Amino acid sequence: MITDSLVIPGGKQKPGDKKKDSSPKDKNFALPERLLIFAKIQGSIDYLYPHKYLMPKNSDAYFTDLLDQTIHCSSRKDFDIILAKAVAKMEDSHAFNFYNQLNYKNEIYHRLYYPPFDYVIFDDHLLITHLIFPEICSKANIHIGDRIMKINGKSIPEVIKEKQELLSSSNRETLLHMLSDYQRNLIWTDDNLQKELTIQSKENHTSYPAKVDFLNFTDKQQLATVTEYIKGKIRTKDEHTMNHKDIAYFKINDVISFSTVPEDKQDGYMDSIFTEASSKKAMVFDMRGYPDWGGFVFHYIYKYFSPVNNHFGKYYKPNVKNRGTYIPISYKEFGHYYPKIEDKTVHPYKGKVFIIVNPETLSMSEWNTMNLQKVFPQALTIGQKTAGADGDTTTVPLTDDYDLVFTANGIFYDDNTPTQKVGVRINEMIRYTDDDLIRKRDLEFERVLKEIK
Tens digits of pLDDT across the chain (453 residues): 443 333 444 443 433 444 555 668 889 999 999 999 999 999 999 999 999 999 999 999 999 999 999 999 999 999 999 999 999 999 999 999 999 999 999 999 999 999 999 999 999 999 999 999 999 999 999 999 999 999 999 999 999 999 999 999 999 999 999 999 999 999 999 999 999 999 999 999 999 999 999 999 999 999 999 999 999 999 999 999 999 999 999 999 999 999 999 999 999 999 999 999 999 999 999 999 999 999 999 999 999 999 999 999 999 999 999 989 999 999 988 788 999 999 999 999 999 999 999 999 999 999 999 999 999 999 999 999 999 999 899 999 999 989 999 999 999 999 999 999 999 999 999 999 999 999 999 999 999 999 997
pLDDT of 20: 52
Q: Is 211 exposed, middle or buried (0-12, 13-18, 19+ CB in 10 A)?
A: exposed
What residues does each domain of the chain span? 31-105, 117-220, 240-388+423-452
Task: Check residue 5 and give its pLDDT.
Answer: 37
Same topology between domain 117-220 and domain 240-388+423-452: no
Give the type of residue at 139: K
Question: Cβ contacts of residue 325 below 8 Å, gap of 6+?
Answer: 318, 319
Using a 10 angstrom Cβ sphere, with 0-12 exposed, 13-18 middle and 19 or more buried, the burial of residue 146 is buried
Reported as type and span, the H/E element at residue 38 is: helix 31-47
**For helices 59-72 and 31-47, angle between their N-to-C axes, nearest 10 degrees:** 160
What does each C-alpha distance from 260 to 267, 304, 334 come to in angstroms?
Answer: 12, 19, 25
Q: How far apart are CA 11 and CA 99, in angstroms?
A: 11
Pick among 3.30.70.270, 3.40.1350.10, 2.30.42.10, 3.40.50.720: CATH of 117-220: 2.30.42.10
The span from the CA of 324 to the CA of 250, in Å, is 39
Are the beta carbons of 411 and 419 closer than 8 angstroms? yes
Just give the CATH number of 240-388+423-452: 3.90.226.10
pTM of structure: 0.93
SS3 289: coil
pLDDT of 2: 40
pLDDT at residue 21, as a whole number: 56
In this prediction, residue 19 carries a pLDDT of 53
